[in-house]
Amino acid sequence: MTFKQTSSFHSNELRERMKIDALAQFKFFKRSLSSDGGFASLSREGNVRVGEAQELITTTRLVHSYALGKLAGVEGCDDIIDAGMKALWENHRDKVNGGYIWSFTPDGMVETDKLAYGHMFVLLATSSAKIVGHPDADRLLDDVSEVITDRFWDEKAGLMHDEFRRDWTSFSDYRGMNANMHGVEAHLSAFEVTGKQVYLDCAQRILSFFVDKIGASRDWRLAEHYTSDWKVDAAYEGDPMFRPKGTTPGHSFELGRLAIQAWDLGGRKDDGAVAKARALIETALKDAWRPNGGFAYTLDFDGNINVSDRYWWPVTEAIGAVATLLKLGGTEADQVWYDKLWDFAFECFVDSEHGGWIPEIDDDNLPCEKQFIGKPDIYHALQADLFPLHDGVSRHYEGIKGILKL
């Protein structure tokens, strides 16, 4: 296959492999669309896993990813986008109380709590749907933006509340970085699509807290969990996937990349922004890389390993973060890291037989299923394939247009 040529820090061979992998992911995850218009979870081989509720994170990430595919020139993305947008409006959206529930089945709602984490992905998905001209994008984008502003956004703190019951009663004082980080991602995307300054302002306020206050004061290691008044809750330990104890180095890669994106969109006014983002990224690379490759999932506050398990998504986020540094000139060490990350990804995570990435490996670098059953999503790995291939550190929608056309 011959593709359009892009960023200069890739070899021709790597560039081709990334694009071929992206196309394989689109082919694999297209099987998620059921005959009834819902989205099914998939096994490692791509078989439908029956009897599972459709989660908000599945709906939104598929909409976002296939909108990226449509922009990139992939044929046949509309069915997934249409089904996801319909599910958001008709099934996830709470017509009584407003907001978006976590999961449903054909029989009705299942998990009905309203989570900031999920709403940030609704904003991301509807922004991506808008850029490809979906007819329902504007009403969903307006609706979720209003919900986020009215229910989750804490204007005084400049940060997001995390969770409510279906009727918006409070049941927790928990505050967390994860939802806020994805809030940055979603609000930057909404700004790129709409040009409305309020989205960029929101993202920049969140970044100011986590980068300038938390990162800078804690040796560039980001605390995940906080009390209601935004003090670090060092003892907190929740869901082992979404709220593990300690720090999550994969989020440092992600936040570092997003901080550079926001700096670029904001006119590059902060002369120290790139250095601070680099500090987050390099600290996580140094602390979390294991001798046999991959990143330990969690660390303590001094950078020592807590949970040594290795998942695909921190590798994808490190790829995106280091690529962003390379786009700004980078260093020889950045190039070494970038090539090493891709070598490891293709050796241990990219499933060249079936498509998609294997989400988890054991101590022998072999696939395992301790935390993740099947292949949970396309979103992380797809962005690792696509975003590094254009020259910009922001404006990804514009940058990837036509990039997968043969």
Whether residue 2 is contained in a domain is answered as no
Outline where 78-166 has alpha helix (H): 78-87, 116-131, 137-147
- The CA distance from 330 to 237, in Å, is 36
* pLDDT for res 2: 40
- The CA distance from 154 to 173, in Å, is 13
CATH number for the domain spanning 109: value is: 1.50.10.10
* pLDDT for res 6: 42
Cβ pair 181, 251 in contact under 8 A: yes
Q: What are phi and psi of 302, to 5 degrees?
A: -105, 5
- The CA distance from 375 to 373, in Å, is 7
What pLDDT digit, counting tens, does each position of 18-66 carry? 999 999 999 999 999 999 999 999 999 999 998 899 999 999 999 999 9
Confidence label for 7 from pLDDT (cuts 50, 70 and 90): low
5 token code pair: 């040529």
* pLDDT for res 240: 87
Whether residue 5 is contained in a domain is answered as no
Number of domains the chain is built from: 1
* pLDDT for res 8: 83
Within 10 angstroms of residue 173's Cβ, the number of other Cβ atoms is 13
What pLDDT digit, counting tens, does each position of 235-285 carry? 999 998 889 999 999 999 999 999 999 999 999 999 999 999 999 999 999
User: Is 390 one of the catalytic residues?
Assistant: no
Whether residue 3 is contained in a domain is answered as no
User: Is 380 one of the catalytic residues?
Assistant: yes
Within 10 angstroms of residue 216's Cβ, the number of other Cβ atoms is 14
Whether residue 298 is contained in a domain is answered as yes
How high does pLDDT run on average in the chain? 96
Whether residue 149 is contained in a domain is answered as yes
Give me Rg for the CA atoms of the chain.
20
16 token code pair: 């081709």
Whether residue 1 is contained in a domain is answered as no
Q: What separation in angstroms does the CA of 383 have from each of 12, 317, 342, 373, 375? A: 19, 9, 13, 21, 16
pLDDT at 219 over 90: yes
What pLDDT digit, counting tens, does each position of 130-157 carry? 999 999 999 999 999 999 999 999 999 9
Residues 6+ apart with CB under 8 A from 188: 199, 200, 203, 258, 261, 262, 265, 394
Whether residue 365 is contained in a domain is answered as yes
Which range of residues forms the domain containing residue 233?
12-398
Confidence label for 3 from pLDDT (cuts 50, 70 and 90): very low
User: What does DSSP assign to residue 311?
Assistant: E
Q: What are phi and psi of 396, to 5 degrees?
A: -65, -35
State the sign of the Cα–Cα–Cα–Cα dihedral 327, 212, 252, 124.
negative
* pLDDT for res 241: 85
pLDDT at 68 over 70: yes
Whether the full predicted model's pTM is greater than 0.85, yes or no, is: yes
* pLDDT for res 90: 98
Identify the active-site residue in 119, 187, 251, 396: 251
Identify the active-site residue in 187, 380, 390, 396: 380
Determine the residue type at 307.
Answer: V
Whether residue 392 is contained in a domain is answered as yes
